[in-house]
């Protein structure tokens, strides 16, 4: 049997190797769990081990890295039992249809740590359909901003630069992000060495395989807005976005770049543009569609897992903690 894998670039073996450059904890090591049936590989789950606990691979705006398994009911039923063999594990950003999420009621030691929204734009019916779904006010705002921008000079959109310009465009995009509010708050890529190493190594792999998209909106050669995306299968994943916050550009050029990116994506037969986690208001200017993703804390069925689960339950009772219910979303 062949594994049934969602079209997610972060489950690709080439990109999984990049995680050695992106761990926030230097002593962490990649650990891939494998499940076999009669000697045949039927499932896999990439994790890393840090401070005595297993954790799923997670990075801001990276899509969920879930179990990879064959499309077999017996294997699907075995996956929660398999996960329950771990002592303690943090599994991040699992989609609501993940077999580990749907099996939560049968595992009282497991808990939902948080529920996040992950908006996306449905491009399957083309960009005209997307525009019809925009509010009239937002549609007018986009046209007004684009008109004002074209009055300032020569405006160009680049969906991805030639190979010999990839590094310089990436450097310029990172610089643009660091000079804005993200840099001031210390959360820009250039503020976080592990993030920078990870994004650069992923970029190299993605460029080699034709997945990388470094799009930019430029005015007379000056970069005004930047997006770092991955186009993989029928989806395009937004990873990093930044725009020029200079006083002479008092209107958001980021939304104009995104409009061009969505238009290009629809032309490239992309079915969905994935914004990534977080219910930021600007995302809902473009869509009302969203996934729900869950962060799980698994305490295994072994002695240690049960003991740690019991200790946590006592702490939670002392703090009067409220459990998170599957199917509800926290803002």
Task: Tell me how crowded residue 128 is: count the other CB atoms within 10 A of its CB.
Answer: 9
- pLDDT exceeds 70 at position 208: yes
Model pLDDT, residue 69? 82
pLDDT confidence band for 329 (50 / 70 / 90):
very low
Give kind and range of the element (H or E) at residue 272: strand 272-274
Confidence (pLDDT) at 123: 98
47 pairs with which residues across the strands? 31, 56
Kindly tell me if the per-residue pLDDT of 330 is higher than 60: no
The single residue listed with the structure tokens 């310029």 is: 172
136 or 57: whose pLDDT is higher?
Answer: 136
Better-scored residue on pLDDT, 326 or 231: 231
pLDDT-wise least confident of 49-63, 97-111, 134-148: 49-63
pLDDT band at 2; cut points 50, 70, 90: very low
- Nearest of 112, 116, 168 to residue 324 by alpha carbon: 112
- For residue 70, the model assigns a pLDDT of 81
Burial of 176 (0-12, 13-18, 19+ CB in 10 A): buried
Q: How high is the pLDDT of residue 230? A: 95
Share of the chain above pLDDT 70, in %: 86
> Do 3-119+290-319 and 124-270 come out as alike in CATH topology?
yes
pLDDT(331) > 50 = no
- pLDDT at residue 114 is higher than 80: yes
Q: What is the average per-residue pLDDT within 99-122?
A: 91
Cβ pair 14, 205 in contact under 8 A:
yes
Rounded Cα distance between 63 and 74, Å, is 26
Average pLDDT, the chain: 86
User: Could you write out the DSSP letters of every residue in 144-187?
Assistant: HHHHHHHTTS-EEEESS--GGGHHHHHHHHHHHHHTSHHHHHT-
The string over 217-243, giving b where at least 16 C-beta atoms fall within 10 Å of a residue's C-beta and e elsewhere, is bbbeeebbbbbbbbbbeebbbbbbbbb
**pLDDT in the model for residue 60:** 63
CB under 8 A, 24+ apart: contacts of 132-137:
133/287, 133/288, 134/285, 134/286, 135/285
In whole angstroms, give the CA distance from residue 41 to residue 163.
Answer: 38
CA dist., res. 208 & res. 241, Å (int): 22
What per-residue confidence (pLDDT) applies to 323? 56
Q: What is the rounded average pLDDT of the residues 279-295?
A: 92
* pLDDT(191) > 90: yes
pLDDT band at 319 (very low <50, low <70, confident <90, very high): low
CA distances from 21 to 31, 193, 200, 298 (A): 15, 10, 9, 26
In degrees rounded to 5, what are phi and psi of residue 139?
A: -60, -45
Residue 2: φ, ψ to 5°: -100, 140
Which pLDDT band, with edges at 50, 70 and 90, does 194 fall under?
confident
Beta-carbon-side half-sphere exposure of residue 103 (alpha carbons within 13 Å): 17
Average pLDDT over residues 92-101: 88
> E strands within 26-150?
29-37, 40-50, 53-56, 68-70, 88-95, 111-122
Q: What burial letters (b/e) apply to 147-163, b meaning 16+ CB within 10 Å?
A: eebeeeeebebbbbbee
Which pLDDT value is given to residue 279?
82
DSSP state letters, 285-296: GT-S-EEEEEEE
Show me where the domains of the chain are located.
Answer: 3-119+290-319, 124-270
- Average pLDDT (6-20) is 69
- Is the domain spanning 3-119+290-319 CATH 1.10.3470? The answer is no
| Radius of gyration for the chain, computed over Cα atoms and rounded to the nearest angstrom | 22
Confidence at 5, pLDDT banded by 50, 70, 90: very low
Is the pLDDT confidence value at 6 over 80? Answer: no
Q: How confident is the model at residue 1 (pLDDT cuts 50, 70, 90)?
A: very low
Does residue 234 or residue 312 have the better pLDDT? Answer: 234
* Cα gap 252→198, rounded to integer Å: 28
| Tens-digit pLDDT profile for residues 50-82 | 777 888 887 666 666 788 788 788 888 888 988
Q: How far is CA 98 from the centre of its chain?
A: 16
Among 20-24, 128-132, 177-181, 186-190, where is mean pLDDT lowest? Answer: 20-24
Entry pTM:
0.84
Q: Which of 223, 212, 219, 237 shows the shortest CA–CA distance to 175?
A: 223
CATH number, span 124-270: 3.40.630.30
More confidently predicted of 117 and 305: 117
């Amino acid at each position: 049997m062949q594994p049934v894998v969602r079209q997610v670039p972060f489950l690709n073996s080439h990109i999984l190797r990049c995680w050695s450059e992106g761990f926030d904890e230097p002593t962490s090591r990649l650990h891939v769990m494998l499940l076999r049936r009669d000697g045949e590989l039927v499932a896999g789950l990439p994790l890393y081990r840090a401070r005595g606990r297993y954790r799923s691979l997670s990075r801001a705006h990276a899509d969920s890295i879930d179990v990879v398994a064959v499309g077999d009911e017996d294997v699907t039923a075995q996956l929660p039992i398999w996960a329950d063999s771990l002592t303690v594990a943090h599994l991040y950003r699992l989609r609501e249809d993940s077999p580990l999420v749907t099996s939560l009621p049968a595992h009282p030691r497991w808990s939902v740590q948080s529920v996040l929204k992950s908006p996306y734009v449905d491009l399957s019916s083309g960009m005209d359909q997307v525009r019809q779904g925009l509010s009239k006010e937002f549609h007018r705002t986009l046209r007004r901003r684009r008109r004002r921008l074209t009055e300032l000079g020569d405006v160009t959109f680049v969906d991805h630069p030639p190979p010999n310009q990839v590094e310089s465009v990436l450097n310029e995009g990172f610089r643009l992000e660091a000079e804005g509010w993200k840099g001031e708050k210390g959360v820009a890529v250039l503020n976080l060495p592990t993030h920078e190493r990870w994004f650069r190594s992923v970029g190299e792999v993605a460029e080699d395989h034709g997945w990388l998209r470094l799009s930019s909106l430029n005015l007379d050669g000056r970069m005004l807005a930047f997006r770092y995306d991955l186009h993989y299968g029928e989806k395009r994943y937004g990873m990093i976005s930044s725009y020029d916050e200079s006083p002479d550009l008092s209107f958001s050029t980021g939304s104009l770049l995104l409009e061009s990116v969505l238009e290009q994506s629809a032309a490239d037969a992309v079915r969905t543009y994935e914004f990534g986690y977080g219910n930021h208001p600007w995302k809902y200017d473009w869509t009302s569609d969203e996934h729900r993703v869950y962060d799980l804390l698994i305490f295994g069925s072994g002695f240690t897992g049960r003991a740690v689960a019991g200790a946590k339950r006592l702490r939670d009772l002392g703090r009067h903690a409220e459990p998170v219910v599957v199917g509800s979303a926290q803002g």
